Amino acid sequence: MDWMWFCIWSTISFAASALLVVAFSNKKSRDGTDNVPPGPPGWPVIGNMFDLSSSKPHQTLADLKNKYGPLIWLRLGSVNTMVVSSAEAAMEMFKNNDLAFNGRTITEAMRACSYNEGSMALAQYGPYWRLLRRICTAELLTNTRMKESEKVRRKCINNMVRWISDEMQEKGGVEIARHLSYMSFNVIGNLMLSRDLVDPQSKEGDEFFTSVSQFLEWGGKPNVADFFPLLKRLDPQGIKKKMERDLGLALGFASGFVKERIQQRRKSDEEQRKKDFLDLLLEFQGDENAGEPAKIMEKDVNVLILELFTASTDTVTSTLEWAMTELLCNTRVLSEVQAELNRAVGGKTSIEEEDIESLPYLQAVVKETLRLHPPVPLLVPHKAMEKVEFMGYSIPKDTQILVNVWAIGRDPTNWDDPLSFKPERFMSSSTVDYKGQHFQLIPFGAGRRICVGLPLAHRMLHLTLASLLHSFEWTLETGMTPKTMDMKERMGITLRKADPLKAVAKPRNNLLQETKTQT
C-alpha cells in the first residue's frame, strides 16, 4: 500500500491526530512560520505529503525546485521541513549557518534498540558527538593509519577479484554489488576487528551481513509515525517493530565481537598485540570536565561498530555499482578508462593506491558517478537548533533540513548537459572535488557534519574500480544493451540500483592468475 494513502487511512482511524494538526494550524503564526520559503499549499491534516513520492522523494523535490526555487518549504504532517536544492543555498547553509543547522532529526525507526543514543551520525551536536568525531579522525582515519592499512585493502580487493572469477566459471555472469559489499565489509572488519568477516561460503559472517542489509531497508522506509507524534506508540506500519527485530539481530553480532575481544584482552598480553579500533574504543578515557563520558559504554561501542560497517559498506557498494553500470552503458568512456589503465600501469599484476595519481580519467569517472548518483541523495536530515534568519527567511527552531544533493548534481546552472555521463567535464576542471568545498558536488555533505569516513571511501572507490577494470574485460550479459538497461533507483538509507547489475567478466591475460597467487 502506498505510504501516502496509508497516512490518510491512519489519520482518519486515529482522530487524535486530526486534533493535533488543527492545533498546529491555529498556532502557525505564533510559531513564526509566516516568513518562510515558498512551497506548495498543503492539505489539512497531512500537509504536503501528496507532493512527495514514497519511492523517489529526491526526484519529486527536484521537480518542485523548478516551480518554487532553490529553497522549498513543506509541512509533512506536523513536521516543518525546508529543502535546500542549489549550490548557492548549500554554500550559505554550510559556510555561514552550519552551527545553527547542525542538529539531527531522529526517525522512529532509528530509535529502535536505543540505536540513536550511541550513533555518531545521529548524535545531537555536543560533547558526545565531538568526542566520537575526534576518535575517528585522530585514530581510525589518520593518514598514517590509512597508509598502514593499504595492504589490508589490497588483500580484500584481491579476494573479491578471485570470488568474481570463481562465480564467472560457475554461472557465466556475476552480480557485482554482492561482491563489492563483501569486500567492503572485510575492509572495515580488518580496520576495526583485525579480521575478515565474510566470503561467499561464510555462514556466520553472511548472517551478520544479511541482518545489516535488512535493517538498512527499514531505516529508509517512510514512516507515518514520524509525521504524527500521537501515532508513535501505535507504530501503525510496524516499521519500528521490524527494525527492533532486525537491528537487534545485527547488534547481537556486534556485541558478540565486543565480548569476544574483552575476553581476549583479559587472557592475552596486550603489549604483544597490535591494537585496532575496537581496542581504542574499549580503552578510551574521556575528560569528564569537558562533558565527555569517562568511558564509552559497551552498548554504545556495539552501535558504533555497526554504524561504521553499514555506512562504509553501503556507500562504497552503491557508488561502484552505479559506476560500473554507467561504464557498461557508455562504452566510449569504458574504452577510454581502460586505455588509461593500460598506459599508466601496463602489465602490472595489481594496482596500488599510489598508481591512482596517474589515472586522472578514472578519478573523473568516480566524480561523475557521485554527481549523478550520490549515495544519500538527501543527506542525513539536519535540524535547526534555533530560529535562524536564512537567505531572507525566518526558519523556526526544530525545522527539518533536507539537502537535495541529487538535484544539485543535476542542476543545469552548474553543469552543461547535466543528465549525460561525461567524465571529461572534470578533466577541464580537475580542481572540483567532493570534499566539501565545492558546493555543486557535495555527495558526502559539507561543514561539521561532513561524512567522517570520506578519507577511507575516497581510497576504496578509486582502488576498487581500478582493480575491477584492470583485472577483467567487462560486457553486459547476452540480450542486454545500454538502451535496455534498467536505470531505476531503489531508495533505502542509500540510493541503490533497483535491478542489481549483472555482467560478464573476462579475465585479462594472466593478471588474474598472478593476483590469485599473491593472495
- Say how far apart CA 261 and CA 267 lie, in whole Å: 10
- Say how far apart CA 75 and CA 58 lie, in whole Å: 16
Here the cell at position 314 is: 553501503
- Say how far apart CA 19 and CA 511 lie, in whole Å: 68
Q: Which residues pair with 400 in a beta bridge?
A: 81, 383
Q: What's the one-letter identity of residue 370?
A: L
Here the cell at position 193 is: 576487528
Here the cell at position 382 is: 539536519
Which of 313, 129, 124 lies closest to 215, judged by CA? 313
- Say how far apart CA 434 and CA 219 lie, in whole Å: 25
**SS3 state at 512:** helix
> Is residue 21 within a helix (H) or strand (E), and if so which, with residue range?
helix 15-26
**According to the annotation, is 451 in a ligand binding site?**
yes
The region, left, alpha or beta by phi > 0 then psi within -120 to 50, assigned to residue 370 is alpha
CA distances from 463 to 155, 353, 355, 466 (A): 12, 6, 9, 5
Task: Give the end-to-end CA distance of the chain in Å, rounded to a whole number.
Answer: 49
What residue has cell string 521537480? 63
**SS3 state at 383:** strand
- Say how far apart CA 268 and CA 445 lie, in whole Å: 42
Beta-carbon contacts of 368 under 8 Å, excluding residues fewer than 6 positions away, are 326, 421, 422, 423, 425, 426
The region, left, alpha or beta by phi > 0 then psi within -120 to 50, assigned to residue 32 is left
Tally helices (H) and strands (E) across the chain: 18, 12
Which of 400, 379, 387, 399 lies closest to 449, judged by CA? 379
Here the cell at position 115 is: 540505536
Q: Dump strand ranges (E) for 391-501.
A: 393-395, 400-403, 472-476, 489-491, 495-497
What residue has cell string 574504452? 335
> Is residue 76 within a helix (H) or strand (E), and if so which, with residue range?
strand 71-76
- Say how far apart CA 99 and CA 97 lie, in whole Å: 6
> What is the β-pairing status of strands 400-403 and 79-84?
parallel
Please state the residue numbers annotated as binding site.
451
Please state the residue numbers annotated as binding site for heme.
451
